[in-house]
Amino acid sequence: MTAAIQFFRGVDEPVVPDIRLTRSRDGLTGQALFVFEEPEALAPEAMGDITGMFLVDEEGELVTRDVKARFVNGKASFLEATYTWKSTGDFERFMRFAERYAASHDLGFNAT
């Protein structure tokens, strides 16, 4: 099974997001901000209301309900989703998903 991001269960989002991570000074908590430019989930033929973002891989799924559309000239053009973790274990689980997602989409990782 490859890692995938879904806005509707069972439907993989083909647009690869820009992902930025921030962590607290103690490293225990943090967030990943996902920005999708013109994702298929916003297409007129999409399945309906977006209720969350689902990060799916062989271990199961991570879910966030913090998803917002950004509009350009009155048209929904971007989706922004924020996944928050509250422990080192949650962060490690998120990173395993991120590594699988990167590998299955031929992506690199840049630490800044």
- The tens digit of pLDDT for each residue in 75-94 reads 889 999 999 999 999 999 99
CATH code, domain carrying 18 = 2.40.30.220
- 110 lies in a domain? no
Adjacent-strand bridge partners of 76: 71
Q: What is the pLDDT along the chain (112 residues), one digit of tens a residue?
A: 689 999 999 999 999 999 999 999 988 899 999 999 999 999 877 778 898 999 999 999 999 999 999 888 888 899 999 999 999 999 999 999 999 999 988 877 665 5
CA distances from 95 to 8, 44, 50, 58, 70 (A): 22, 32, 24, 13, 26
Residue 87 lies in a domain: yes
Integer Cα distance of 58 and 102 in angstroms: 14
Question: Is residue 23 in some structural domain?
Answer: yes
- Choose among 79, 55, 82: nearest CA to 68: 79
Q: Which domain holds residue 68?
A: 4-104
The structural domain count of the chain equals 1
109 in any annotated domain: no
